Amino acid sequence: MRIVSLLPSATESLFALGLGDQLVAVTHECDHPPEAASLPVVTRPTLDLANQGSSGIEDAVAFAAREGRSLYGVDTYAILRLDPDLVVAQDICDVCAIPADQVAQDLTGIRMIRQHPHSLRDVLADIEELAEVCGADSLPLMARLRRRIEAASAKAAELPRVRGVFLEWIDPPYRAGHWTPDLLALAGIEDPLARAGVPSVALSWDDVGKAKPELLILAPCGFSQARAEEEADYVRPQIEATGATSVVVLDGSAYFNRPGPRLVDSLELLVASR
């Protein structure tokens, strides 16, 4: 099978399933595992956000949305020339990854999986569905992932539960949504601002402070560990004003923001942060 992945988490899932050799193209954001970097890239960003801080990125993305402009350019002609049997895309967020609707018409006639997970259970089910469509056996991978989930949950259960707040963006702060509240619950972190199964939305730092977190976790979407730490420094007064006794900055891009196998790593990181 010849597969084009327009979703970084799907790229990770395909490699984890042993199907990396069937990928013929990926996105410019598909950076894991390292082997993905050697594959042809059929997308590009439409905005130059490299030198923008969290607030600037928020404004630029909102402006593009108001104008009806996509954040991603996709070379659908290149995809057609690759003659794929399957394209993997998503319907959950127009900001985090290429929306399936952007390419569906140009790729008419090619089978497309449109992933739209809203919970940890959905994420695991998407991996299983992807394996089934590709004729792969998902049982070994899923058994390993579920054993790790059980082990991390058991470890968390041995610790006192902690009141915390998880932020998916920093300026402005965005509360935890979709699958992240599931991870927090398994890790024994009680987040009063988190909303499971729905998109993350912007709050104010006053809202974060009123939640009275003991533990504040920052894992901004699309930011590496180093970039997240840099951004956190810009809002250090607001962070300190929350009164959190512990502040943890994590790599959102590698873990929490991608609905794939590394969400299990994300759970383990949360437990370790306790």
Reported confidence tier of residue 266, pLDDT bands at 50, 70, 90: very high
| Phi, psi angle pair for 234, to nearest 5° | -70, -25
Please report the pLDDT score of residue 191 as a whole number.
98
CA atoms of 15 and 33, how far apart (whole Å): 7
Please report the pLDDT score of residue 61 as a whole number.
87
State yes or no: pLDDT of 66 exceeds 90: no
* H or E stretch at 249: strand 246-249
Would you say the pTM of this structure is higher than 0.75?
A: yes
Same fold, 3-116 and 160-273: yes
State yes or no: pLDDT of 51 exceeds 90: no
Q: Is 167 helix (H, G, I), strand (E, B) or coil?
A: strand
The mean per-residue pLDDT over the stretch 34-55 comes to 91
Q: Is 128 helix (H, G, I), strand (E, B) or coil?
A: helix
Please report the pLDDT score of residue 62 as a whole number.
85
- Map out the domains of the chain as residue ranges: 3-116, 160-273
Please report the pLDDT score of residue 48 as a whole number.
85
CA atoms of 38 and 35, how far apart (whole Å): 6
CA atoms of 109 and 25, how far apart (whole Å): 18
CA distances from 138 to 13, 17, 152, 257 (A): 10, 7, 21, 22
The mean per-residue pLDDT over the stretch 82-108 comes to 94
Q: Which of 55 and 10 is assigned the larger pLDDT?
A: 10
Please report the pLDDT score of residue 67 as a whole number.
87
CA atoms of 265 and 120, how far apart (whole Å): 13
How many other C-beta atoms are found inside a 10 Å radius of the C-beta of residue 274?
18
Reported confidence tier of residue 21, pLDDT bands at 50, 70, 90: very high
State yes or no: pLDDT of 93 exceeds 90: no
Is the separation of the CB atoms in 229 and 197 below 8 Å? no
Q: Give the Cα-Cα-Cα angle 108, 17, 75 (nearest 5 degrees).
A: 30
The mean per-residue pLDDT over the stretch 53-74 comes to 89
The mean per-residue pLDDT over the stretch 195-216 comes to 97
Its CATH class, for the domain covering 3-116, is alpha beta
Give me the CATH topology for the region 160-273: Rossmann fold (3.40.50)
